[in-house]
Amino acid sequence: MSNSGYHVLSELETIQYVKKIPGLFSENALLICKELGDGNLNLVFRITEKGTSGKSIIIKQALPYARVVGESWPLTLDRSRIESDALMIQNILCPGLVPKVYLYDKEMSLTIMEDLSTHINMRKGLITRNQYPHFAKHIGTFLARTLFLTSDLALEPQYKKQKVVKFINLELCKITEDLVFTDPYYDATTNQFNPLMKEVIKEIWDHAELKLEITKLKERFLTHAQALIHGDLHTGSIMVTEKDTKVIDPEFAFYGPMGFDIGNVVANLLLNFCAHEGCSLDQKERLQYQDYLLNIVEEIWTIFEKEFRALWKGNESSFYASVQGYDDDYILRLLQDTLGYAGCEMMRRVIGLAHVPDLESIDDPKLRAKGERLALAIGQQLVLRRETVWTICDLTALVRYIKNREVDED
Amino acid sequence: MSNSGYHVLSELETIQYVKKIPGLFSENALLICKELGDGNLNLVFRITEKGTSGKSIIIKQALPYARVVGESWPLTLDRSRIESDALMIQNILCPGLVPKVYLYDKEMSLTIMEDLSTHINMRKGLITRNQYPHFAKHIGTFLARTLFLTSDLALEPQYKKQKVVKFINLELCKITEDLVFTDPYYDATTNQFNPLMKEVIKEIWDHAELKLEITKLKERFLTHAQALIHGDLHTGSIMVTEKDTKVIDPEFAFYGPMGFDIGNVVANLLLNFCAHEGCSLDQKERLQYQDYLLNIVEEIWTIFEKEFRALWKGNESSFYASVQGYDDDYILRLLQDTLGYAGCEMMRRVIGLAHVPDLESIDDPKLRAKGERLALAIGQQLVLRRETVWTICDLTALVRYIKNREVDED
């Protein structure tokens, strides 16, 4: 990759850059640029036209290192290509469910895309207990279409393998391999957790069966090139309004196990569920919202499965379509993978480097530990019992059971 | 890939070509070149020095089409790069167990390598009931070392993924996908089988559970980038003397499931086992050789497992090494994959396009059908019962059981 012309943009340079691109803004537009400062890895600029048009765009530029750590953690600029390519594919497969890409500049490692300032980050929405009546339908559809239509179920193997090569994502996969599947399961320096959780976490480090199952899930993450997955589909990668859903930030995209994406969505809803154990709401309101969250989990899977089966049936010419029972078998394995990866995500968000604001926003460490303990209990059981689960309701029943058990213990 | 200078060599041109390469033969050597004519896909020339030196080499040149079919089946010349790269890697991992590569010429898509005219094709050796006392040790070691040392068990994931890309092998994988996993399971035009087998084969085409399991094995072949496998490791890809073993022809190499390679070795020994049901030997001699074959199967796995575990233990710094029970779990899954892929290979060699001389050399179709029927019976049960097997002796016991059952039915 040639990036000889690459340099990090300032806000002023970004305006100059944008002005040179025909069709974005009128020639005499007065533009305001602000770097939003909320990226872990990248610069994110919003450019707004002053005046009544209200027109705005986002420019996301990759830095040659991880912003959250600094230049000591170099990262390839190529992730910018992966992100824009993934967005373009997702936009074809699920029009309207990802931001539109206006331009990708390889040399500058930047992507100009639709501004979503009318949307809020789904995680923030869940923390303030908003409800999103269309979210399950949108994300279930997004998952079914992006996963099915990039897999061997829909593509000729030869074509799919070319995509596997295009989306080899060495460095960002390594982040996941380390921070999700490795570091949380021993006393790694990257871990940072609530000191009150130390005893429970030590039990996890000593839990041989759990570590074996985590390793099998890691092996699958490393070897199972099933579909072009988003790779980082937590609720912070989803922007919502009451009516709309947009999935953003697919820079971790690669060919991996479908259940990793579905599991990440489920886990982050469950992490919010757990955080509610540590909040100071009255019990009724808390239980209602927790019920709402479990209902969305069920609804997401139900919609996902329905859409996935419809795509399967619509693909009658494929060899797979005629194999009796293959759809049921495939979908059951997806559900079990989903549980496994959801469990990994829940545990690493309590033990590892990157925590979630749902729990972190609870100031009192004792209250936070209540939610964290529940997250670890659910995460463990999702991993350990994933192969005993047959329907999505088995999952939500398991969550309710563990919650009641943990709460009784208090 | 640039192949602008590529042209198909004649025997005379091959001599001229070789003479230009320093270090192979002396300047005034009198060379004889013969195209051996036994390749399905390629030209294979042997160049011998006249006189007492007896020096000889092999030149293998890829054709831009499959030789066995003709120009109507175009094939990329890039398979020549894959073959020479795989040979070089295998030679580093298992010195002496593959032919030495002297030169790879990308432009001409040819590889100059060690001549093995002192060896015979293992399949021919088995057909004439030779015994190879070192074979199990050699092939078990080859499998353990090539598979373990190219997998995530030994390599950094980032490095391994670069190898995955290098060994993407679109066209040759497609041949396997079609001829092993797809065409034999319906009435495809590529199939060609003994007309006496028609009823049994129709039962297979109607066997829903079997087709589901074949599809799952195909899915794994398409998605499971576990190790750099040989990809075509039947007994015709192995050259032997009583003391030596050389694995040849890795042009189907790619990152796939380890069990595919081990299964192909096992299946081709079992196909010879089955062919003995149709031979006219006296019973005692036949049973003795069949016992010998099952003993080698057990010995190969035992040596493979021992060597694989030794590599596992030797790799103490890896994350895996410390995960209790992961080795047992991994190896059991390998054994079960081995059975599944062995079953696929046995069935496709009876139903599909490419048969094995072990069975084809039986002239009488009725006698041949005895062997073929046993091969299909064993093949099916290996696929269907693979997850009930825990040791290699469960496999050989299953083979004996099916043989006794089938023979009783006669």
Minimal Cβ distance to A157: which of B173, B324, B325: B173
Rounded CA-CA distance B222/B93 in Å is: 25
pLDDT in tens, B289-347: 999 999 999 999 999 999 999 999 988 777 777 799 999 999 999 999 999 999 999 99
Give the residue-averaged pLDDT of B198-214: 97
CA distances in angstroms from A209 to A130, B311, B389, listed in the order given: 38, 23, 22
**What was the pLDDT predicted at B294?**
98
B170 to A158: CB separation less than 8 angstroms, yes or no:
yes
Q: How far is A166 from chain B (nearest CA, A)?
A: 9
Asked whether residue B21 is domain-assigned, the answer is: yes
Nearest to B231 by CA among B176, B166, B304: B176
β-bridge mates for residue A329, sequence order? none
Contact, B361 vs B373, CB < 8 A? no
- If asked whether residues A60 and A102 sit together in one domain, one would say yes
Average pLDDT, integer, range A145-171: 96
Q: Which of B48, B82, B114 marks a domain boundary?
A: B114
User: Residue A114's CB: how many other CB atoms inside 10 A?
Assistant: 16
CB contact under 8 A, A223 and B226: yes
* Residue A168 to residue B157, Cβ atoms within 8 A: no
In a domain, A332, yes or no: yes
State residue B5's pLDDT score: 85
Helix ranges, A32-72 (H): none
CA distance A51 to A48: 9
pLDDT surpasses 50 at B113: yes
Six token digits for residue A44: 């994110």
Asked whether residue A158 falls in the same domain as residue A250, the answer is yes
Contact A208 B170 (CB under 8 A): no
Distance between CA atoms of A95 and A115, rounded to whole angstroms? 16
* Among B274, B304, B290, residue whose Cα is nearest residue B380: B274
* pLDDT > 50? residue A40: yes
- Residues in A closer than 8 angstroms to B162, CB to CB, are 168, 170
- Maximum Cα interatomic distance, chain A, rounded to a whole number of Å: 66
Domain check: are A49 and A176 in the same one?
no
Percent of all residues in chain B with a pLDDT value above 70, rounded to a whole number: 99
How many other C-beta atoms are found inside a 10 Å radius of the C-beta of residue B12?
9
**Does one domain contain both A83 and A199?**
no
- What confidence tens digit (pLDDT) does each residue in A55-112 have? 999 999 999 988 877 888 888 899 999 999 999 999 999 999 999 999 999 999 999 9
ipTM of the complex: 0.93
pLDDT at position A240:
98
Calculate how close chain B gets to A317, using CA atoms only, in Å.
14
Q: How many CA atoms lie within 13 A of B373 on its CB side?
A: 21
Residues of B in contact with A211 (CB under 8 A): 323-324
d(CA B160, nearest CA chain A) in Å: 10
CA distance B329 to chain A (A): 9
pLDDT at A1 over 70: no
Same domain, B197 and B263: yes
Q: What percent of chain A has pLDDT over 90?
A: 87
H and E: helices and strands count for chain B: 14, 12
Same domain? For A145 and A253 the reply is yes
A324/B211 Cβ within 8 A: yes
DSSP string, A160-197: HHHHHHHT--HHHHHHHHHHHHTGGGTT-TT----GGG
Flag whether pLDDT at B238 surpasses 90. Answer: yes
- Residues B187, B242, single domain; the answer is yes
Residue appearing with tokens 């269907």: B384
Contact B323 A212 (CB under 8 A): yes
Separation in Å, CA of B198 to nearest CA in chain A: 21
CB distance B171–A152 less than 8 Å? no
pLDDT band (50, 70, 90) for residue A409: low
CB-based contact B326:B242 (threshold 8 Å): no
Interval B305-318: pLDDT, tens: 999 999 999 887 77
Interface test with B, best of A160, A205, A216, A323 (most B CBs within 10 A): A323
CB A204, CB A344: distance < 8 Å: no
Looking at beta carbons, which residues of chain B come within 8 Å of A329?
A: 212, 216
Backbone torsions φ then ψ of A407, nearest 5 degrees: -70, -40
Q: Is residue B58 part of a domain?
A: yes
Return the pLDDT at A408: 59
Q: Inter-chain contact A222–B158, Cβ cutoff 8 Å?
A: no
Any chain A CB within 8 A of the CB of B406? Answer: no
Q: Mean pLDDT, chain B, as a whole number? A: 94
B336-380 per-position pLDDT tens digit: 999 999 999 999 999 999 999 999 999 999 999 999 999 999 999
Query: Among A132, A131, A3, which Cα is nearest to A79's?
Result: A3
Closest CA to A232 of A206, A207, A252, A212: A252
Exposure letters B319-340 (e unless 16+ CB within 10 A, then b): bbeebeebbebbbebbbbbbbb
d(CA A300, CA A141): 8
Q: Give the phi and the psi of residue A95 in degrees, each rounded to 5.
A: -55, 135
Q: How far is CA A159 from CA A162, B138, B169, B226, in A?
A: 5, 37, 12, 20
Contacts of A383 in chain B (CB under 8 A): none
**CATH code of the domain in which A125 resides:** 3.90.1200.10
> Looking at residues B41-55, what average pLDDT do you find?
90
Domain-embedded: residue B1: no
CB contact under 8 A, A222 and B152: yes
CB interface of A with B, residues 211-240, below 8 Å: 211-212, 215-216, 219, 222-226
DSSP output for A32-44: EEEE----SSEEE
pLDDT band per the 50, 70, 90 thresholds, residue A3: low
Residues A240 and A329 in one domain: yes
Beta carbons of B211 and A171 less than 8 Å apart:
no
Q: Tell whether B208 lies on the interface with A, counting CB pairs under 8 A.
A: yes
The residue among B114, B149, B182 that closes a domain is B114
Q: Classify residue B47: in a domain, yes or no.
A: yes
Element (H, E) at A152: none
Quick one: B104 and B219 in the same domain?
Answer: no
What pTM value is reported for the model?
0.95
The answer to the question of residue A233 being in a domain is: yes
Instruction: Give the residue from A60, A81, A114 where a domain finishes.
Output: A114
Choice between A73 and A387, residue whose per-residue pLDDT is larger? A387
Can you tell me the mean pLDDT for A209-237?
98
Tell me the pLDDT tens digit for each residue of A333-376: 999 999 999 999 999 999 999 999 999 999 999 999 999 999 99
Q: Which residue type occupies B240?
A: V
In a domain? residue B54? yes
| Residue in B with minimal Cα distance to A155 | B222
Q: Rounded to a whole number, what is the distance in Å from the CA of A162 to chain B's nearest CA?
A: 8
| Chain A residues near residue B161 by CB distance under 8 angstroms | 168, 170, 173
Asked if A158's CB is within 8 angstroms of B212's CB, the reply is no
Closest C-alpha to B342, from B240, B247, B227, B264: B264
Tell me the chain A residues in contact with residue B177 when contact means C-beta distances shorter than 8 Å: 157
Mean pLDDT of A142-150: 98
CATH classification at residue B109: 3.30.200.20
One domain, residues A146 and A95: no
Asked, for residue B197, whether it belongs to a domain, the answer is: yes
**Radius of gyration, alpha carbons of chain B:** 21
Please name the member of B157, B173, B323 whose beta carbon is closest to the beta carbon of A177.
B157
B320–A215: do the CB atoms touch at under 8 Å? Answer: yes
Report the half-sphere exposure of B51 (CA within 13 A, side-chain side): 9
pLDDT band (50, 70, 90) for residue B1? very low
Check if A162 contacts B (Cβ < 8 Å). yes
- Is residue A165 less than 8 Å (CB to CB) from chain B? yes
Cβ B329–A157 below 8 Å, yes or no? no
Cβ–Cβ under 8 Å, residues B399 and B294: yes
With beta carbons under 8 A apart, name residues in chain B contacting A160: 222
Query: Do B331 and B361 meet the contact criterion of CB atoms below 8 Å apart?
Result: no
Check whether residue B76 and residue B155 sit in a common domain: no
pLDDT score, position B408: 60
Question: B161 and A171 in contact by Cβ < 8 A?
Answer: no
Spell out which residues of chain B touch residue A325, defining contact as CB-CB under 8 Å.
208-209, 212
The token pair that represents B41 in the structure block: 């896909």
Suggest the residue from A319, A322, A332 to mutate for an interface test with chain B (most B CBs closer than 10 A): A319
Question: Which residues are paired to A31 by β-bridges?
Answer: A49
Rounded mean pLDDT, B27-45: 88
Same structural domain, B62 and B201: no
The answer on pLDDT for A194 being more than 90 is yes
Residue B51 belongs to domain spanning? 11-114
Please indicate if any CB of chain A lies within 8 Å of the CB of B264.
no
Q: How far is A320 from chain B (nearest CA, A)?
A: 7
Q: B150 CA to chain A: closest CA distance, Å?
A: 12
Q: Is the pLDDT of residue A157 over 50?
A: yes
Question: Per the structure, how many domains does chain B have?
Answer: 2
Residues A322-336 have pLDDT tens digits of: 799 999 999 999 999
